Structure 1
Amino acid sequence: MKDKYHGLLKKLTPFIMARPNVLENTHHSGLGTKEIKIFDPLDNKNGEFFERILTLDQLAFGGEAMAMPRWVLFDCALYPGAIIGFGIDADKLSAADNTLLKAQGSTFIPLSMYITIPNAYDNSWFGHNLSSLNGKLSLDLSGLGLLTKYFALNTLKIKKLVGATQWSSPAVFLHLKLSPLKIVSPHLVMHTMNDSFCYESTSFYASEQVFGHKHFQLDYNKEIKHDELDKIKELFISHHIYVVGKDEKSIKLLLEQKTSR
């Protein structure tokens, strides 16, 4: 594991905010982290931490018009699913960071989170929100997004994940460090962001590949430039599409011909 991930695990503390019945099915991720802080969303004494989660979401997505109203966070995420992430004691933050995070009076501050919601079929989960404050604070939080998603998937023992993101999003590269992305829909017209697509992940890489020093990428048989995304829609008609890589120039795809019945 690279030193930056060891550094994050040393200075940050993991947390999970979920109802007790969800917690019954979790397990320690094996990353050698500290004891997980647990917050029950039905316990009103955790209201202050809920406010800090909202602040984290606003800082991460407010500028993209995708910040969540508080009722959405509770009804659609916290009650059925879980929020898992990493945080830090408020007294370890600079005065400027405390002000930005509205941390006055708080003791533990979330710096990253992954919100996952169980689907009503096939034991799969929906990855609703991945965010971290990397680049927004004086702390060096490089790698925190990847660490957070990996930690959440393992803590919840998720074997099949469905998610939605944007072709232009830097998060695609992060998701690809964990698994190839099988395209469920190449274009979501109902999403707020016009270039959104839906994907499915099942074949997650081992931690040695995720956090190792060597870049890992599966073989591909098709390359699409970023200004040629309509071609993916055309290919989707006749092929199963797996996104296996992305760089500044193109998106790398593995295509498998669909068989007719």
Structure 2
Amino acid sequence: MALALAGCEEGAGGLTTLFGGGGEKATETAQAGQQSVKLIERDVEAPEVFQVTEEGLWDGRPSLGGVWVAHPDVKSPERVIIRKPSDGKFVIGALFRRERANPGPRLQVSSDAAAALGMLAGQPAELNVTALRREEVAEEQAEAAPDANMDSAAPDGVEQTTLAPAAVDAEASAEAETEQAAASPAAPKPQASSLNKPFIQIGIFSVEDNARRTAERMRSAGMIPTVKKQSASGKPFWRVIVGPAATSKERRALLEAIRKEGFGDAYAVTN
């Protein structure tokens, strides 16, 4: 099963035009339109990485870190889809290793995850937790090519008017400002990190206000957070990350600072 992600702040796009054969075929291609290829990130379920179907429990206490579950069989943090088969509710969240074995269900549920799934405090519910992996797929879109036979005449029924001198002057001034802006050197881009996982993920939230409050808390602590909105099957969620760190030393310092703020389950991610 593939879950398409429509991220506000994420995404990659490119334009690829394919020409085949001789000049005549290329002309036909140009007249028919160009093909643009847009790369879309989506989540694909990876049960081979992690999957369990068993009872989960929220103990009723508020928890930090947004939407997450914890299980003793986890080897490393993962992004997961958490389903409640009894009513079809689901949410995207994080999966962590549960260190302490307490009586009752092995699957521990955070307060935000319980709220998203409609779970009551102290009442176990059967949950299915499956790891997710991201992949990029190409989505082709046709772009209309300009008609070579079009001229500059106004179409029928459209009245042509002459701009007043003041309007012409304003337009010329705007063009001059545009040219000046184009001639100005672009601001230097931040240096890319050499780390495979330069960001620290603080949590995944099903409520935007909770994500924004967490980001503001990180900002008050001197860090630069980013809130990323994504969705799965039409249901939105928000990730809070900090970074990128340029070096391993900087990443360790970031992680230590985040954990001092109470987010002990934060971990390094690619983006």
* TM-score, normalised with respect to structure 1: 0.21
TM-score, normalisation: structure 2: 0.20
Name the structure where helix makes up a greater proportion of residues: 1
Structure (1 or 2) with the greater strand fraction:
2
- Higher gyration radius (CA): 2
Name which structure has the greater RCO, CA cutoff 8 Å, separation 6+: 2
